[in-house]
Amino acid sequence: MPARDLQRAVVRFGGLLRRHGLPVTVGELSDAVRVLDHIDIADRDEFYTALRTILVARLEEIPIFERCFNAFWRPEPAADPVMPGLITIPDGEPATPPGTPKVAGQRRDDVALDSWMSEDEDGETGAPLAVPAVSDREALMAQDFSTFGSEQLDEIVRLTIQIAKRLARRISRRRRPSRRRGPVDLRRTIRANLTRGEIIELKHRRRKRKKVRLILLCDVSGSMDLYSRFLLQFLYALQNAFGRVDTFTFSTRLTRITEHLRGRSYRQVLRALRDIRDWSGGTRIGESMAEFNAQWGRWLDRRTIVIILSDGWDCGEPDLLATELLRIRRRAARVIWLNPLLGNPSYEPLTRGMAAALPFLDHFAAAHNLDSLRALAGTLTL
């Protein structure tokens, strides 16, 4: 079984454990993925012990873990003995995410998006949603994206749009003449009154908006499954709040989705994105960046901010990633990398892709909750 497929399976297994009440964190899942390199995954007992050691914190959680493990990792007939079997666990709850159809031969990216669509449509009852209290909104702002349920999506979309609009209202320190109220423009005031005995006419100025262009590049590979849906909400909000935005997704290849995000509701966006055939696959960040430079690199200038949203897990060559990021940095005004794993205090950017990218970034920040997205306000200036 390819290592990348096994890593994605561990992430999905973590989602199953969460649905059964185990408080599995993103950091623990990252540790579980790393430990695969140090054990014999063909030895079921060793594999079980490694995952239980990392993902179980209390004795009372062991029975739940064992039930989920036996259901999720039991192979189906004629399957690879190490391949996880996605079957129904004894109490009747599916081991796959709710709403995921199990169709022979269906592409994995179709299954992922169908799962999102089913969850969203099931929650679309037509009843008005209650407006959360301020304390509830603040709690949502600090909550990790990986812990949200489908019933919270509408409120998260609203909050994300609010954040995007605030970011779009950020203006530069440069000022331009104004006939209305504003700080006095001393230079223009003196010049206008040179021929008069005293200053009788005040000239004002106000801040001048810079036409900043955003280039958004979002990782939708398997390792980002826990975060992709919410980060796509953020991209959707930015696309409709800023005047000059172009958005791309990447996994093993790059896809421009600007038109898919423009002028639609988020549920319509999810339906439109089903045409994109690159969900939940492997990750070749360097090759995707090379494709961007080759086809759209001419768009980069000193008024362009490039934002990359990725966990940095890369199956490609780190040297290629470093080379392509250097090309982007030389042309663009700023390069910002948002990593959802950075929200975990124990996370260290030690993967080959992340280590290769760090020297070429102007800003490296977390993207695990709404608070981290709101904090971008101080970085989207030129």
Q: What average pLDDT score do residues 133-158 get?
A: 75
> 347 pLDDT exceeds 80?
yes
Q: Answer yes or no: do 158 and 244 share one domain.
A: yes
Instruction: State how far the Cα of 280 lies from the Cα of 77, in Å rounded to an integer.
Output: 24
Q: Are residues 255 and 194 in the same domain?
A: no
At how many degrees (to 10) do helices 26-35 and 3-19 cross?
140
Q: What is the pLDDT of residue 366?
A: 93
The CATH number of the domain holding residue 127 is 3.40.50.410
End-of-domain residue from the set 77, 96, 115: 96
pLDDT of res. 319? 94
**Residue where a domain stops, chosen among 96, 123, 148:** 96
Q: Is there a single domain that holds both residue 249 and residue 336?
A: yes
33 and 134 in one domain? Answer: no
Q: Are residue 201 and residue 235 in the same domain, yes or no?
A: no
Query: How far is it, in rounded angstroms, from Cα 335 to Cα 267?
Result: 30
What average pLDDT does the segment 26-32 reach? 83
CA 320 to centroid of chain Cα atoms: 22
The amino acid occupying position 365 is A
**How many CA atoms within 13 Å lie on the side-chain side of 125?**
6
| 220 and 197 assigned to the same domain | no
Write out pLDDT tens, residues 32-69.
888 888 888 888 888 899 999 999 888 778 888 888 88
Read off the pLDDT of residues 100-118 as tens digits, 9 standing for 90 and up. Answer: 333 333 344 444 555 555 4
Q: Is 167 exposed, middle or buried (0-12, 13-18, 19+ CB in 10 A)?
A: buried
Q: Predicted confidence band at 217 (pLDDT cuts at 50, 70, 90)?
A: very high
* Same domain membership, residue 110 and residue 75: no
Please indicate, yes or no, whether residues 241 and 202 belong to a single structural domain of this protein. Answer: no
Q: Which of 89-103, 146-160, 284-298, 365-379 bottoms out in mean pLDDT, i.e. has the lowest?
A: 89-103
Residue 153 has pLDDT above 80, yes or no: no
- Predicted pLDDT of residue 73: 85
Number of domains in the chain: 3
- Report, as an integer, the average pLDDT of 320-344: 94
- Average pLDDT of span 211-229: 85
Q: What is the model's pLDDT at position 6?
A: 79
| Residue 84 in this model has a pLDDT that exceeds 70 | no
Residues 113 and 243: their CA atoms lie apart, in Å, by 28
Query: How far is Cα 133 from Cα 141, in angstroms, rounded to an integer?
Result: 12
- pLDDT, position 12: 85
Domain boundary among 63, 81, 96: 96
Clarify whether residues 89 and 107 are in a common domain.
no
The pLDDT confidence band at residue 335, using thresholds 50, 70 and 90, is very high
Same-domain pairing of 109 and 18 = no
**How far is CA 345 from its chain centroid?**
18
Q: Are 134 and 64 contained in the same domain?
A: no
pLDDT band at 181 (very low <50, low <70, confident <90, very high): low
Percent of the chain predicted with pLDDT > 70: 70
| Model confidence pTM above 0.85 | no
Range(s) of the domain holding residue 189: 176-207
Q: Is the pLDDT of residue 122 over 70?
A: no
Shared domain for 232 and 245, answered yes or no, is yes
